[in-house]
Amino acid sequence: MHSPTNTVAQVRGGFVGAVSGAVSIAAHGMAGGGAPPGDGAVLLLAACVAIGAIVSSLPAAAHSRGVLLAALTAGQLVGHLTLTMAGEHTHWLSMSAPMLAAHLAAIAVSAVLIRGAERGCHAAIAAVTRLVLAVLSSPPAEAPLWTSTPVHRATLSPWLLAGATAGVRGPPVSA
């Protein structure tokens, strides 16, 4: 069973890889590159999976905003370079100010959305855990809150006990 920290790390890695690919394809199309060629799409998919796997394998202590921003930046850079190398044009040598601003905005928006998804993942895991524990836990043992007291007192038993003794009190009779 995975711990919640491992699950959130996998969610983070998947999102970083997916966002890197999506932003790379969008930027490639906006720069006039059109649809990525077949080889470029396969290379981009492999690059994004590698970026996602690297991010999801980071220890829990490395899950900070700075690491997330660095991973998103590296993912977009790797995706952009992959599509550029697979295509016929090399627009990556001359990055314009609007393209740089678009990449920075995409990194910031993606980081905010991924952090929100992580918080949502934590909340969902906590809710499912509480639900499973409530369903699978045994019901509390039923203990009586009061005990019944007899209303009828037997009157025969004291007479039987008294009759079973030696009789009248007194000194022993010599025979």
Would the pTM of this model clear 0.85, i.e. be above it? no
Q: Write down the pLDDT at residue 43.
A: 82
160, with CB counted inside 10 A (0-12, 13-18, 19+), is exposed
At 9, the pLDDT band (50, 70, 90 cuts) reads confident
Q: Write down the pLDDT at residue 128.
A: 92
| Longest CA span, the chain | 136
d(CA 11, CA 152): 71
